[in-house]
Structure 1
């Protein structure tokens, strides 16, 4: 929907390919979506609670170009959401060249502060009024 004015696009990393060790295909998928996005910001979502720490690092390394990489809640049946530990791991992996977005489970001002201290450059939350008001 970039041609209709979208400035940001979210994509979920192909987790099956990542878990199968087919990282070149994961990179190709990300690159194809980025080409389709043009100048729009591409946010690559990693469903962290479905991955081991090594897979999270690998997923972060598949995202080579600047732009946020996001830890987000997986499908409801899998449980979880962004954790301080995952955000810190992602930040250590991507350094300062990429953003890290913490999404899911951030409900209070203190939650947001912990995520930012761990390295989040963005917060995704449905409780934004409570967070800002807190």
Structure 2
């Protein structure tokens, strides 16, 4: 049923690419354990997942974390900054391509904020994530399986 709904939404988006008031481009159906329709709407990447209540719970959790941290939405601003860097500069964001997932990135940011909460800024979070990614990647290749 989820697959039928995902395919139906994908076909609607593809059919309305030229006829719509909004610009819908690059419509893709990702057939994985969690069905996803990916597209770009007015140059904004959009992912639509199906029957994923865990995603809503994660969203509520991250919203609560942002409220608890405060500091003028430091957590949300850090996520936006670091996601942009990971996507546009380092090309490491995109779980469907075997790269780091958005939620894993948000968890890293949360870890950095938890460890270094007394001296935080968005730039500090970016530097911390770069360090963790660099360290993790070197550890992975240094260990033999």
* Larger gyration radius, structure 1 or structure 2: 2
TM-score by length of 1: 0.30
TM-score by length of 2: 0.29
